[in-house]
Structure 1
Amino acid sequence: MDETWAPQNKDEEQQIMWLNKLPPGVKIPLTAEQMAKVAKMEVYSNQAGMKQHAGPSSKYGIPDKQNNWKTQKQPIPAKISKEMKFATANTNSSDSTTSNTKETRGMGSTDEETSASKETGQKEAYSSSQKHSTGQSNSSTEEQATKQETKEELNDDDPEINPDPPTKMEEEMDKMFNTDDYPAVEEIISAAIPKEGARFKTRDDAFYRYALYARKEGFAVKKFSSKRSGKNGEIYMQTFTCNKEGCTNTDAKTSSQRRTNILLKTGCKAHIIVREFDGYWYIKKVHLEHNHPLEPTDYLIRFAHCHKRMTDLDRRLIHLLQMGRLPPRKMMLIFRSIRGKFRGIPFDAVDLSNIKSQQQQIEKDHDIQKCLERFKTLQKTVPGFYYAMEIDSEKRVRSLFWMDAMCVMNYKLFGDYISFDTTFSTNKYGLPFVPIVGVNNHGSTVLFAVALLKDQKTDTFIWVLETFVQAMGGKEPKTIITDQDKAMKKAIKTVLKTTTHRNCYFHIVTKMSQKESTFFAKNTGMSEMLMYVAKNAFTPAEFEMGWNKVIKDYNAGGEKHLSKLYRIRHRWVPAYFMDNFFPFSSSTGRSESTNNMWKCYSQHTDTITMFLEQYEVIQDKCLSALDKKKLVSSLKTAKAVTRHPFEKQALEQFTNDIFEKFQIEITNNTAFKVDGSLEPGRHLRLKRIVKSYDHMEFKRECFDVTFDDEKRNFMCSCKKMQRDGIHCCHVIKAMVHMEISDLPESFVIQRWRKDIDTELATLGNVADATCGDETLNVCEIWKQKCWQQSEKMKEPKNYTMKKQLATKHYVTHQCPTEEEQKEETE
């Protein structure tokens, strides 16, 4: 070797830079001539101070005709050698070369192999891809084989050669993709036949190499019997067998276990035995014959348990998709878009479901403990997070309650009305889920608190309400709407003494139609008349008179359910709540919509800890939605439908969502006319002049509007301002008739203004999206890697290798000769 060698041109300088930047462990096959040139480059790099790693020459090996990597031979201990019945005569002579050999995963070689390769040159060595040997100890047979190899030169125009130093993320991704969990096609094809004496660093390495060979041949393997040391109890011998070892019991059995398929075993004797000695594992015995046909293609055998692979990157992506509540079938579609086809995915949808089931099983016994730990963490990280627990006499947690600063601020601004519903259960323990919700200044549902209750008894509801009021500084809501529950009614009466309680109108009417369906079918029109009276009565006296008249006309005095509804009329009929603030609500629909939202993020199989995680997701979503509504209200405006000045004034003060509701009232004022004045300038009678119109709330013909000149305040007999916080179309008609152009201050209450939620909009003002960017980058790089591998396999040489694997037509892979290379070029 000429040690005075120096690069002759820029191409050779580029090659040196590239070789020195290769990370340790990269293995690239080179010919003998290329090895000699690399050795010269190494000397030049050492002298020039360019060396960054252990040296380029330590990264390469020379492949023989069978594509096996010839390495320096390792000595086999005499004790193991005797048990394995192979010669140890050359052990001492190879000691000097052993210390210079760099070992990698699953390497295996013997002195017996050396003599065998000299005689035939064709026998495959069960090597673990020790591809970076210096090649200085090759035999004469290897020298003859290398003379036939192609004289390939390094090409710096190769797009895979990047002279720029890799970034931190690129290094991490390279480490992920250069994992043995996904064996390359070349690695499977070149998997050698196992032979006695092969050496491995660990027992898992030995099993991995045997599994590679099994996948190449078309069968599956399993770990079978093992022996442990009497001194330390560790395994020192293990048997790896074909998965069809043993016999199958196909007798019919009556069992309560779920139905599963049984692997048809044939008593196959194919196996290898590995034994540990002096820190390494050696193959002690090999039996390769099977008594059953092998699978014809890799596409079939990949479903065997031992050949399924799921990397850490796979699991990270699966975890992200599971957090997004994607079902396994949709996850598989995502993996298909990454891998290119379903056959390229080394697992199936069942494996994805099993991952979640295993995680739930692990968390099952420690659910409450993890939940409490999560609560304590949230107290430190989430502003104003508060939680409470109800503990029984045996110190077991029975009920949970929690909220955060966003809930407190929402309640401070919009806590005059709340909705309370317990009809939804969304966890694996069947605990009733109780969202306490309200309405914000955009007319959207907001969350005040969340509770998971042990039952729906009065004491439990009292505990929830007392905890809620205490957490909110003693402030009680003005109104509350719930479903028809006796226990809840008692609890509200006990705790919320100043709060007006109302039952859900929709639930009661629906139940009435169901229970009286037979009677209503016989008395056509009665149901519609009762609903008309209940919905259009403005005072309790009007309702009672109209209801009794319908009952009398249809002779329905004996109907028990109708009599019961009349007795509890003060709890559900709208006429009894005309002066109470229930914004755009007469039912628990807001709680039910909240339940539906939780259904999108949680499942009945979720643990409490998982349920708590989804609470954080929903709160984050609500805050994001609030940001959007706030921005829309400040930057965009609705189009005016009239030229009245008060419409523009309302647009500037109301939030966009509330203004749209007010604009409907402005439009509907044209459906009425002033029929007369009961008191000039103060009391007007309005009459409907059209049969119907959009968003018609009442079917009455006449409405009375009163005006207070001193307070510049209007009041209508429908009392929409008291009920919803905005004036009705009847008042708008009166304003137009009285030629009032300016919007009175009383028209816009504080809770509907644009600027009331400024504090909420700034809550959590610091946004950190770097984690999301990193996740997107990982997915994008992963897809690019898969695409590059797919494009690489389209090359003729690699396609031939893939075809060999798929058709089981094993042809000894050789490096192309000069003649073959010339033919390919032509």
Structure 2
Amino acid sequence: MEMLDTSSKLLSPVIRDGAFILFNDGIEIYVYSDRQTGITVDTATDNLIQQTLKQHFTDSTMIVIAHRITSVIDGHMVVLLSSGLVQECDSPSKLLENKSSSFSKLVAEYANLLKQNVVQPDRQELCREVEKRFTPYIGQEFGDVEDAVTFYKIYTIACGFDVRRYTTKKWRGGEIKLKLVVCNREGFAHKKPSKEQDDGLVGEKSQRIFRVTRVGCKARIRLYMKNGLLLIDRFHEGHNHELISLKDREFQKLSRNITDYHKMIIVSNSRLKIGATKTYRICKEQVNGYENIGASLNDFKNFHRDVKCFIHERDGQLFVDHFKETTETRIGFYFDYDLDNDGSLRRAIWADGTARDNYKIFGDAVSFDPTYSTNKYSMVFTPFTGVDHHKRSVTFCGALIAREDYESFNWVFNRFLQAMGVRNPST
């Protein structure tokens, strides 16, 4: 093959649709690169392009710069480059005869990938180029499933989609045999049929409207345990939906994270009756923008909900711990409580130093009113009150009882006298 004299004045390039047509002494040479089309089209379309080139450029010399084996397998000569240097140069048939040649190994690797069902992105699928060291590949080894899932999550954050764990198959001994990690938009949402009413008509029961997120995306990796090694044996890269943009990546599920500082703020504000929404706005002002928080409003709401659930399960113990701590830190504070056989709080009484001092001065007449009750715990709030010199009500003590019976009232009265120094009121 004659080499082009690039210094020739007769050499004139013409650009047509991303390709170069060079004219040198009347000879037309077509330079074609499949990098501009091979990444965005499927195999069938690429084959159609190759057939069109062969049909309409039979009298031209084509120089094909390819990243697909199929683009150069029918050429008269193949030049294989490595790090900018010529590694092999011969006809494809001769290079394939030599099983140790790099070109022969590339063809064998390509055929092996097809056998292993490595699906290239379809025509209408989208994929984003990610740095090679963060991109999964067939045959990649991992120590365990968690390492593999963590690596795939790093790839998904850079690519712009979220994932969820899917099928898991195990050996009889309990060891994992196969594991699928798929795009969170894999599959389709199946609507549950509504129940029929007695008259035979389908009841239109009001249901919460959910946003449809599953669109049948096929992006996934499959992990397979082979000879004691966990390998990636299938990898589908393309998506049939839009990927998360770079500017919205901080709102991606895998990128969001509630930090310890956020948790401390939420818990502290919940004690002040400040909800998750206002707390989220406060954090936005501190970091100068919602995009700098690192978490969404729903993340704040979910943690606030978890805090309330945690308190709901331990509210009795938190109540007792709070008053015990107050007794140790505040002079003159009195607290006592009683539990039932199940360990549940059934009686409690408390009075601070000011209330006890008021009793010493205004404790001649005491009113005991067990008419208050709480809706959530079905416990009766029973305050001890009196009247000062200005005819204003003053509270001496407060108590909670689960049952209005003789035993509960007797316990409350005895603890009240004990808190007030065993001085009986006149009235």
Q: Residue 287 of structure 1 aligns to which amino acid in structure 2?
A: H
Q: Does 1:313 align with 2:261?
A: yes
Q: CA deviation at 1:268?
A: 1.8
Q: CA deviation at 1:271?
A: 0.7
Q: CA deviation at 1:454?
A: 2.5
Q: Does 1:271 align with 2:182?
A: no
Q: Does 1:294 align with 2:236?
A: no
What TM-score do you get using the length of structure 2 for normalisation? 0.54
Q: CA deviation at 1:353?
A: 2.9
Residues 51-72 of structure 1 deviation map (CA, whole Å, 9 limit, x = unaligned): xxxxxxxxxxxxxxxxxxxxxx
Q: Residue 273 of structure 1 aligns to which amino acid in structure 2?
A: R
Picking from 221, 225, 241, the partner of 2:163 is: 221
Q: Does 1:336 align with 2:277?
A: no
Q: CA deviation at 1:296?
A: 4.0
Q: CA deviation at 1:214?
A: 2.3
Picking from 184, 190, 195, the partner of 1:243 is: 184
Root mean square deviation of aligned Cα:
4.5
Q: CA deviation at 1:467?
A: 2.8
Structure 1 residues 220 and 373, CA gap change in structure 2 (3 angstroms): same
User: Structure 2 matches for 1:671-710, cutoff 5 A?
Assistant: none
User: Structure 2 matches for 1:120-519, cutoff 5 A?
Assistant: 192-198=134-140, 203-228=145-170, 230-231=172-173, 233=174, 235=176, 237-251=178-192, 253=194, 259-274=208-223, 282-299=231-248, 303=251, 305-369=253-317, 371-372=319-320, 386-389=334-337, 397-403=345-351, 407-409=355-357, 411-412=359-360, 415=363, 428-436=376-384, 448-454=396-402, 463-477=411-425, 498-499=426-427
Q: CA deviation at 1:442?
A: 11
Q: CA deviation at 1:270?
A: 0.9
Structure 1 residues 228 and 266, CA gap change in structure 2 (3 angstroms): same
Q: CA deviation at 1:221?
A: 0.9
Using the alignment, how far apart are the partners of 2:131 and 2:357 within structure 1? 65
Q: CA deviation at 1:380?
A: 5.9
Using the alignment, how far apart are the partners of 1:271 and 1:214 within structure 2? 10
Q: Residue 219 of structure 2 aligns to which amino acid in structure 1?
A: A
Using the alignment, how far apart are the partners of 1:309 and 1:238 within structure 2? 26
Using the alignment, how far apart are the partners of 1:259 and 1:297 within structure 2? 31
Q: Residue 215 of structure 2 aligns to which amino acid in structure 1?
A: T
Q: Residue 212 of structure 1 aligns to which amino acid in structure 2?
A: I
What TM-score do you get using the length of structure 1 for normalisation? 0.30
Q: Residue 253 of structure 1 aligns to which amino acid in structure 2?
A: S
Paired residues of 1:216 and 1:298 also in contact (CA < 8 A)? no
Using the alignment, how far apart are the partners of 1:280 and 1:407 within structure 2? 72
Q: Residue 294 of structure 1 aligns to which amino acid in structure 2?
A: L
Structure 1 residues 364 and 319, CA gap change in structure 2 (3 angstroms): closer
Structure 1 residues 441 and 330, CA gap change in structure 2 (3 angstroms): farther
Using the alignment, how far apart are the partners of 2:305 and 2:398 within structure 1? 26
Using the alignment, how far apart are the partners of 2:378 and 2:132 within structure 1? 55
Q: How many residues align?
A: 294
Q: CA deviation at 1:315?
A: 1.4
Q: CA deviation at 1:220?
A: 1.6
Q: CA deviation at 1:213?
A: 2.8
Q: CA deviation at 1:216?
A: 3.3
Range that drifts further, 337-346 or 428-437: 428-437
Using the alignment, how far apart are the partners of 2:140 and 2:396 within structure 1? 68
SS in 1 for 2:398: strand
Q: CA deviation at 1:453?
A: 2.8
SS in 1 for 2:285: helix
Using the alignment, how far apart are the partners of 1:353 and 1:322 within structure 2? 11
Residues 409-466 of structure 1 deviation map (CA, whole Å, 9 limit, x = unaligned): 5544554566666666567324343444568999998764332232567875564344
Q: Residue 244 of structure 1 aligns to which amino acid in structure 2?
A: R
SS in 2 for 1:240: strand
In percent, how many aligned pairs have the same letter? 30
Residues 144-171 of structure 1 deviation map (CA, whole Å, 9 limit, x = unaligned): xxxxxxxxxxxxxxxxxxxxxxxxxxxx
Using the alignment, how far apart are the partners of 1:449 and 1:418 within structure 2? 10
Relative contact order higher in (CA < 8 Å, ≥ 6 apart): 1
Structure 1 gap segments, 5+ residues each = 1-117, 122-187, 478-497, 500-826
Paired residues of 1:226 and 1:239 also in contact (CA < 8 A)? yes
Q: Residue 354 of structure 1 aligns to which amino acid in structure 2?
A: N
Structure 1 residues 395 and 196, CA gap change in structure 2 (3 angstroms): closer
Structure 1 residues 453 and 341, CA gap change in structure 2 (3 angstroms): same
